[in-house]
Amino acid sequence: MPVPKDNIVVALDIGTTKICTLLAEVDRNQQVNVVGVGTAPSAGMRKGVVVDIDEAAQAIVQSVEKCERLSGYSIQSAYVGVTGSHITGANRRGVVAVSPNASEITVPDVERAMEAARVQAIANDREIIHVLARGYTLDGQDGVRDPIGMVGRRLEAEMHIVTGGSTSIRNLVRCVNRAGLQIDDLILQPLASSEAVLSPGEKDIGVAIADIGGGTTDVAVFTDGAVCYTSAIGVAGNHVTTDLSLGLRAPFSVAEQVKIEHGSACTSQVGPDEVLEVQTYDQDEGELISRRLVVDIIESRMQEILRLIRAELGRSGLDGRLPAGVVLVGGAAELRDIRLLGRDVLELPVRVGVPRGAIGLTDTIMRPAYATTIGLLRWAAYHTEEASAPILTFPQWKGLSRLRGMFREFLA
Ligand SMILES: Nc1ncnc2c1ncn2[C@@H]1O[C@H](COP(=O)(O)OP(=O)(O)OP(=O)(O)O)[C@@H](O)[C@H]1O
Ligand SMILES: [Mg+2]
């Protein structure tokens, strides 16, 4: 099989319920053309974190091999999503003086300011995943988006710094390596998802994305075109299924099927007489169960998840300033009537985010559950070193040098 060329990018989304590998050709205009898709059920993962390296590595291999067979390429490395409650995001400010002899602010000045912000976030047991520029203040003038070429003496960089627990990150890296792949980069999952479903206009005006997967619900909040808050909650779609399984006294797999085929997020949308036949533990041949009961169980848990999202928006300090509202993605966002319940609980505009910005073999993946994987591809297409990334995102590569060193260490 041929080895991928420079213009080929691979995304690997290691979720709690599914693993998805996508391979795409990227043209000069950063258009993403998917030529390989491989999905496999996940294993060895809990709440977005690796708990069994061998099991998870085997599941990754399955997904990668499917993608290789379809695309005809041998996959060597991938852009990998990261999540879990070990992730934290914090805003930091780095201040530097610009030489009075300098005629204008240059890239090294900006990098020094970012480095000054970055060092504040370094702790022994944490790894830096992203150092993202939110904006700059130049001699007291805030709201500067790109200071390069401007004149000033005191440069302040406002950064959003995402860190993860060293143990969880190292185990993720080790697991991907064990599956035979190198890591091009680690990307926070909701940031990846945002690349696939949010528009620049929404990010400017104020918007949040909530990725409700199987094991985690990831939140990211954007304003003024940049991310300002990130967090991960350890409750998601699998909890809904577990509740149903307990409530109906049925196996998890039966509860999952009932949820997907007959579920809804709103009891108000269900007639009082609707009944379903469910294979419960009590009766092998199928028991008649009220659909209202099913939806009532689903609604309670989804309400809790949405309230937790609302609490995160409150912590971001931007809950009153999100005119574009909340965009829901992840498999659990495919639940019927989720938008209705979302509007009710969040009291904001809510839409379900369907990924866009990819062509090719996309018929099975242009769904909310694949927002992260398509977003990883778009992130990769946009942020490859050959690509001309704008100055606002370019210096974040500096922040990854420590992590990149770590990948090399593991690969050695
Ligand atoms: N049509 C549907 N209705 C309701 N729930 C659904 C539907 N389709 C998928 N789900 C749920 O979505 C969840 C899986 O979502 P997703 O594929 O985004 O998770 P993941 O990426 O594997 O996990 P995570 O991101 O949490 O690590 C499961 O709980 C599944 O039951
Ligand atoms: Mg996911």
Query: Which has more confidence, 94 or 391?
Result: 94
The C-alpha torsion from 263 through 264 and 265 to 271, rounded to 10°, is -120
What mean pLDDT value characterizes the chain? 90
* Strand-strand pairing, 77-82 and 182-188: parallel
Whether the full predicted model's pTM is greater than 0.85, yes or no, is yes
The answer to whether 343 touches 184, Cβ cutoff 8 Å, is no
pLDDT, mean of residues 164-177: 95
Q: Please report the pLDDT score of residue 306 as a whole number.
A: 98
Query: Which has more confidence, 66 or 28?
Result: 66
- For 326-343, write each residue's pLDDT tens digit: 999 999 999 999 999 999
Q: Ligand 1 pocket test: pick from 334, 354, 372 the residue with the most ligand atoms within 8 Å of its Cβ.
A: 334
d(CA 225, CA 340): 27
Query: Which has more confidence, 10 or 1?
Result: 10
d(CA 67, CA 22): 7
Q: How remote is the CA of residue 120 from the centroid of ligand 2, in Å?
A: 30
d(CA 378, CA 79): 10
- For 60-116, write each residue's pLDDT tens digit: 999 999 999 999 999 999 999 999 989 999 999 999 999 888 789 999 999 999 999
CA 275 to chain centre: 37
Confidence of residue 406 (pLDDT cuts 50, 70, 90): very low
Beta-sheet strands, E only, within 282-349: 287-290, 326-329
42 lines ligand 1 (CB under 6 A): yes
Please state the domain extents for the chain: 88-164
Q: Please report the pLDDT score of residue 5 as a whole number.
A: 60
DSSP β-bridge partners for residue 137: 156
| pLDDT at position 182 over 60 | yes
d(CA 163, CA 87): 6
332 lines ligand 1 (CB under 6 A): yes
CATH number of the 88-164 domain: 3.30.1490.110
pLDDT, mean of residues 45-59: 95
Task: Provide the 10 A C-beta neighbour count for residue 252.
Answer: 13
Is the Cα torsion angle 178, 182, 186, 187 positive or negative in sign? negative
Task: Provide the 10 A C-beta neighbour count for residue 69.
Answer: 12
d(CA 75, CA 79): 11
Ligand 1, atom 8, residue with closest C-alpha: 331
pLDDT, mean of residues 236-261: 97
Ligand 1, atom 5, residue with closest C-alpha: 332
Q: Please report the pLDDT score of residue 124 as a whole number.
A: 82
Task: Using a pLDDT cut of 90, give the percent of the chain over it.
Answer: 81
Q: Give the number of residues written for the chain.
A: 412
Beta-sheet strands, E only, within 174-241: 182-188, 207-212, 217-223, 226-233
Q: Please report the pLDDT score of residue 410 as a whole number.
A: 38
| pLDDT at position 411 over 90 | no
* Strand-strand pairing, 88-97 and 154-165: antiparallel
Residue 278: both structure tokens together: 């469910």
Amino acid type, 95? V
Residue 172's closest CA among 27, 30, 12, 32? 12
Q: Please report the pLDDT score of residue 232 as a whole number.
A: 93
Place of tokens 């993403």: 32
Q: How remote is the CA of residue 220 from the centroid of ligand 2, in Å?
A: 14
pLDDT, mean of residues 370-397: 64
* Strand-strand pairing, 350-352 and 326-329: parallel
Q: Please report the pLDDT score of residue 102 as a whole number.
A: 79
| pLDDT at position 403 over 50 | no
238 lines ligand 1 (CB under 6 A): yes
- For 114-126, write each residue's pLDDT tens digit: 999 988 877 888 9
Buried b (16+ CB within 10 A) or exposed e, 171-200: bbbebbbbbebbbbbbbbbbbbbbbbbbee
48 lines ligand 1 (CB under 6 A): yes
Q: How remote is the CA of residue 369 from the centroid of ligand 1, in Å?
A: 6
190 lines ligand 1 (CB under 6 A): no
Residue 72: both structure tokens together: 């005809």
263 lines ligand 1 (CB under 6 A): yes
- For 284-307, write each residue's pLDDT tens digit: 778 999 999 999 999 999 999 999
Confidence of residue 4 (pLDDT cuts 50, 70, 90): low
The answer to whether 195 touches 227, Cβ cutoff 8 Å, is no
Q: Which helix (H) or strand (E) holds 127?
A: strand 126-138
Say whether 110 sits in a helix, a strand or coil: helix
Q: Please report the pLDDT score of residue 249 as a whole number.
A: 95
Q: Please report the pLDDT score of residue 384 as a whole number.
A: 60
Report, in angstroms and rounded to the nearest whole number, the Rg of the chain calculated over CA atoms. Answer: 22
DSSP β-bridge partners for residue 94: 157
